[in-house]
Each structure stands twice: as C-alpha cells, then as structure tokens.
C-alpha cells in the first residue's frame, strides 16, 4: 500500500512525508474511512468552512488517507445551501504524493464534478494547512490535478499563489474554435456564437478551462441580470469538450478589469481565482491591459500579475475561516 501519513494520529507526520514507525497502525482504516467507503455520510467528520472573496468551500482534513473521505454525491449534498452546509465546492487536504510537495489538494465542485484546480480554494487550503500544521510554514507546495501550485502566506494575512504557466494551445484547453475572428487584433481572439449571438472570445487554461469575452459596461450589467439563463449555454457549448468556466469582462482602466463569472460545475459564484488569472492573460494577449491588474469580482478584488520573465501567473487575495463544524 502506498504511504499513508497520519493514521497513527501523530501530528509530527501530518504534512511531512516522514515514514511512520507504527506503520501497522498507520494503514488501518479509520471508522470515518470505512463509512465513506461504504457510501454513508461519515457522521462525526469534522470540517471547516472557508471563503475567498465569497467563493466558499467546505474543507476536509483528509491527511489520513489518499482517498477523499466524501464521495462526489455526498459533496454535492453538503454544498446544497438549503439542505447542507452550503458551498461552491468541497476541498480535501490529502497526504503528499511525493517528496517534492507538502500536501495534495483535490476538489469537488458543488455539482460533484472534479476540476483540476481552484485558485480561491488553494488560498483557503493554505490557511487550513497552516492552521493544522504544528510547524506551520509560510509556503506550501501543493500537488493538484493541474500540477504543483505554490501558495505563500504573507504577513498581512493574504495569500500570494504561484499559479504556474497558462496554457494557450486550444487543443489543451480544451477548446475547438474557428480561426482568428475577422478584424481581431490577435490570433488568440476567436469568434463564438452563443445563444444566437456572436462574441469575440479567448480560451485559456490555468489547469482548468476558461473562456473569456470582453463586453461593454452596459452589456456587463445586462449579462449580470441574465447570467442564470445564459451561463449554462456557455458552460455546455460544444466548443468546450470538458465544459468551461466563462468570464465576462469590462475594462475600467489598463490595470483594472471587472469580471463576472459563470463557473463550470458551480454556476454563478462571487469570485474565481483561476478565472481572474485567465482573464489577465487573455487581456494582455488581446492587447487591452497591462500584465499587472486588479480584477474586481462581485466578492471583491484580486491582484493578478502575468510575469514576462518566467511566463508564470501570480494571484494575491484573501482566504478566511468562516466556521468549523462536525457532520
Ligand atoms: N472557483 C475556482 C474554480 C473552481 C473550479 C471550476 N469550477 C472548474 O470546474 O474548473 C477558482 O477560484 O479558481
């Protein structure tokens, strides 16, 4: 069996990859693990509710096993805002997968689907990991389905995350879009017809797929009012084989963009960190913004920088504990 870090309950083993000398005890599944495996909601499972700009998550301390303690179906139920705890997703803090990382993050969206990455979520996860870690560090290397992502806790309480390099190759986003839109300033700008209307769009992956479109302030306000109607048409558009997160943007200044988001698997949310990163990349490629921008979301602002020297995107914003509970 692969290494299991903490079944023995020894806090020294929590985020490190130290081998436990009591391995016979370490690998024995707990009652919580057994009830999760049996498909039951694990009564007694502790959770913490965090939010990053109102994008809210149920965090589970899952360091005792490599398998999430909740199934996608259970996570969907817990995310229900009337019948559950309420959240845009459930995030699991799992043991490290190699010596190169401190821990692993997995996430289920509120519809139970599993995305590759979550920007606001990883800021919350870093705070959660630091709170649980006896030897709290300021930087954590986190394995995700989108590769290793590195959040750093800063003295002012915000979290700055090295989000890695954007992926622009359409087949890898993945997106199937026609050639450059007629008259567009950049080959990255494509046309897409959604609900009978033609939009100019850019597709960017930050590990997960994003489709970005720039609109006027008036259109932005109209989209805000009709997001529940139009959002699913973008999310499930045949141009995006893995569905897509959609960001609608209007520009206030070269370094200040306003963003509305319809998330794959979660619908309207108050913020999307990977989305804000993808937006700045798209805005730079379209020639409409600087590399360092404030992105204003319904839940508040994120600071995003797409660095020219290393092609990496950095995101800075909050991640805060709301409450703790027991299922
Ligand atoms: N809110 C997140 C993104 C969560 C995943 C997304 N819904 C997807 O399916 O890709 C963020 O802050 O990045």
Atom of ligand 1 nearest to the CA of 117: 5
CA distance 266 to 262: 8
**How many angstroms separate the alpha carbon of residue 144 from the centre of ligand 1?**
13
Say if ligand 1 is within 6 A of residue 211 CB: no
Say if ligand 1 is within 6 A of residue 6 CB: no
* More confident site: 298 or 7: 298
CA distance 229 to 311: 36
The pLDDT mean for the chain works out to: 90
Say if ligand 1 is within 6 A of residue 55 CB: yes
Q: Is the pLDDT of residue 216 over 80?
A: yes
* pLDDT at residue number 15: 43
Give the count of alpha carbons within 13 A of 63, CB side only: 24
Q: Is the pLDDT of residue 193 over 60?
A: yes
CA distance 35 to 282: 45
CA distance 289 to 281: 9
Report, as an integer, the average pLDDT of 124-150.
97
* pLDDT at residue number 12: 36
* pLDDT at residue number 11: 35
* pLDDT at residue number 34: 60
Report, as an integer, the average pLDDT of 75-84.
96
* Residue 53 Ramachandran class (φ > 0 left, ψ -120 to 50 alpha, else beta): left
Q: Give the C-alpha distances (Å, rounded to integers) separating 323 from 58, 84, 159, 215.
A: 10, 14, 19, 37
Q: Which residues contact residue 226 at a Cβ distance below 8 angstroms, ignoring those fewer than 6 apart? A: none
Percent of the chain with pLDDT over 70: 87
3-class secondary structure, 127: helix
Please give the positions annotated as active site. Answer: 118, 272
Say if ligand 1 is within 6 A of residue 317 CB: no
Burial of 287 (0-12, 13-18, 19+ CB in 10 A): exposed
Fold adopted by 170-311: Diaminopimelate Epimerase; Chain A, domain 1 (3.10.310)
* pLDDT at residue number 187: 87
Atom of ligand 1 nearest to the CA of 274: 13
The pTM for the full model equals 0.89
Which residues are paired to 201 by β-bridges?
190, 213
Q: Is the pLDDT of residue 281 over 90?
A: yes
Say if ligand 1 is within 6 A of residue 112 CB: no
3-class secondary structure, 125: helix
Closest CA to 124 of 132, 115, 116: 132
3-class secondary structure, 25: helix
CA distance 60 to 323: 13
- The 10s digit of each residue's pLDDT in 1-31 is 222 333 333 333 334 433 333 333 334 556 5
Give the count of alpha carbons within 13 A of 235, CB side only: 15
Residue 169 near residue 182, CB atoms below 8 Å? no
- The 10s digit of each residue's pLDDT in 161-187 is 999 999 999 999 999 998 776 777 788
**Structure confidence at residue 212 as a pLDDT band (50, 70, 90):** very high
Q: Give backbone dihedrals phi and psi of 321, rounded to 5 degrees, phi first.
A: -70, 135
Long-range contacts of 76-79 (CB under 8 A, 24+ apart): 76/108, 76/110, 76/111, 76/112, 77/41, 78/47, 78/327, 79/110
Atom of ligand 1 nearest to the CA of 89: 4
* pLDDT at residue number 24: 34
Residue 28 near residue 307, CB atoms below 8 Å? no
Give the count of alpha carbons within 13 A of 107, CB side only: 30
**How many angstroms separate the alpha carbon of residue 76 from the centre of ligand 1?**
15
Atom of ligand 1 nearest to the CA of 273: 12
Task: Kindly report the protein residue whose alpha carbon is nearest to atom 2 of ligand 1.
Answer: 118
| Range list for CATH 3.10.310.10 in the chain | 41-164+320-326, 170-311
CA distance 116 to 107: 8
Residue 306 near residue 280, CB atoms below 8 Å? yes
3-class secondary structure, 45: coil
- The 10s digit of each residue's pLDDT in 97-130 is 999 999 999 999 999 999 999 999 999 999 999 9
Residue 127 near residue 169, CB atoms below 8 Å? no
Hey, which of 59, 105, 245 would you mutate to test ligand 1's pocket, going by the most ligand atoms within 8 Å of its Cβ? Answer: 245
Q: Is the pLDDT of residue 229 over 70?
A: yes
Q: Which CATH architecture has domain 41-164+320-326?
A: Roll (3.10)
């Amino acid at each position: 069996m692969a290494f299991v870090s903490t079944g023995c309950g020894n806090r020294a083993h929590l985020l490190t990859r130290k081998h436990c000398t009591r391995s016979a005890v370490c690998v024995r599944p707990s009652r919580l693990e057994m009830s999760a495996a049996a498909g039951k909601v694990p009564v007694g499972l502790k959770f913490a509710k965090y939010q990053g700009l109102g994008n809210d998550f149920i965090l589970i301390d899952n360091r005792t096993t490599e398998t999430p303690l909740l199934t996608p179906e259970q996570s969907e139920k817990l995310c229900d805002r009337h019948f559950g705890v309420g959240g845009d997703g459930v995030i699991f803090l799992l043991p490290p997968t190699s010596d190169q990382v401190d821990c692993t993050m997995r996430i289920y969206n509120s519809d139970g689907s599993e995305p590759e990455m979550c920007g606001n979520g990883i800021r919350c996860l870093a705070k959660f990991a630091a709170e649980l870690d006896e030897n709290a560090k300021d930087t954590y290397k986190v394995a995700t389905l989108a590769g290793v992502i590195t959040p750093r806790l800063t003295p002012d309480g915000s979290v700055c995350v090295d989000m890695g390099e954007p992926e622009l190759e359409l087949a890898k986003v993945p997106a199937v879009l026609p050639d450059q839109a007629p008259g567009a300033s950049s080959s990255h700008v494509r046309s897409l017809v959604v609900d009978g209307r033609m939009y100019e769009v850019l597709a960017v992956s930050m590990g997960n797929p994003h489709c970005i479109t720039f609109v006027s302030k008036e259109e932005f306000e109209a989209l805000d009012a009709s997001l529940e109607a139009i959002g699913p048409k973008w999310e499930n558009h045949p141009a995006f084989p893995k569905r897509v997160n959609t960001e609608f943007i209007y520009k206030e200044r070269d370094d200040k963009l306003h963003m509305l988001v319809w998330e794959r698997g979660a619908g309207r949310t108050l913020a999307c960190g990977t989305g804000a990163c993808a937006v700045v990349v798209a805005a730079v490629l379209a020639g409409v913004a600087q590399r360092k921008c404030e992105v204003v979301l319904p839940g508040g602002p994120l600071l995003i920088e797409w660095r020219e020297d290393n092609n990496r995107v950095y995101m800075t914003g909050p991640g805060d504990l709301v409450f703790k509970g027991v299922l």
